[in-house]
Amino acid sequence: MSLPKTNRPLLRDLLLGLFAVGLLAAPLWVTVVGIDDPTYTYDRAEVVTNSTGIEYANPDSPPRPIRTRLRGGLSEDIKCTGLDRDRRVCALERGLLETGSAPTGVYTGAGGTRDGRADYPYVQLENTVYQTSAVVNTSAELRDGLYRIDVTLEPVDADEALSRVSRDPDNVPSVVAETARDGTTRSNAEVDVPETPVELEDGTHYRVYQLGGPNPPSAVESRLTDFLVYGGPFVGMYVLIRLPRRFELSYVREGERD
């Protein structure tokens, strides 16, 4: 059994026709593909624990300018861990650490301890992680069974604190999850990076940050885009006009078939 012969000139003309149509439509699909769109670069820094505290695994990662820009330091939920620290908060917490507790001026009738204040649950001082707590001081009664609430600091396990403040990869933008898993990532979209580490499936933690952006397209991408948008339709029209073959459609009635 012999294979049917291929009409190579006809196939060539068909491919040229498709190519020409693609060039004619270049201004449309170039916009959709976004060849010359600006890009954003994201990177990661591993976060680890030592005996009592939390720190970056590499002192030089992220770079110092990036660390200064990271508002939350290691995590927005752990105060006093960044280079650009809130000095007032850290000074107050250090004073609280020395005195053991401080009154709030708020009273309640319920007893017990309220772990984690509303503004931030943890603070790191002198390489030790503390949980911020609000305790009902039963020795400071106001009246009618109302007792004053005092704030205190309780040392906690660093691994537990890091796990609690970290995000699951399924709960962050896909670009952030990809960066946490694989490292440097580029994206055409700017995403909201959480100000806290991401905990991966293997138990490691990474702080994802934006390296820079928007990064302008390269010279090659810009020239290619200009050619496709402004020159593509003209080249496509020229190719269509210059096609050497003609396509003929014939209609055969049912009774005339062999």
Q: Is 242 left (phi over 0), alpha (psi -120 to 50) or beta?
A: alpha
Q: Supply the pLDDT for residue 3.
A: 44
Q: Checking DSSP bridges between strand 122-125 and strand 78-79, what pairing results, if any?
A: parallel
Measured distance CA(239)–CA(25) in Å, rounded: 14
* pLDDT band at residue 222 under the 50/70/90 scheme: low
Measured distance CA(187)–CA(35) in Å, rounded: 12
Measured distance CA(39)–CA(186) in Å, rounded: 6
Q: Are 49 and 204 in contact (CB under 8 A)?
A: no
Q: Are 126 and 36 in contact (CB under 8 A)?
A: no
Q: What is the pTM of this model?
A: 0.67
**Helix H or strand E segment including 44:** strand 39-49
Average pLDDT, the chain: 77
- The CB density around residue 186, as the number of other CB atoms within 10 Å, is 13
* pLDDT band at residue 155 under the 50/70/90 scheme: very high
pLDDT (tens digit, 9 = 90+) per residue, 62-109?
876 676 666 668 898 999 887 655 778 888 889 988 888 888 878 877
Task: Tell me: pLDDT of 150 over 70.
Answer: yes
Q: Are 176 and 193 in contact (CB under 8 A)?
A: yes
- Ranked by mean pLDDT, the top range of 29-33, 60-64, 244-248 is 60-64
3-state secondary structure of 171: helix
Mean pLDDT, rounded, for 8-13? 67
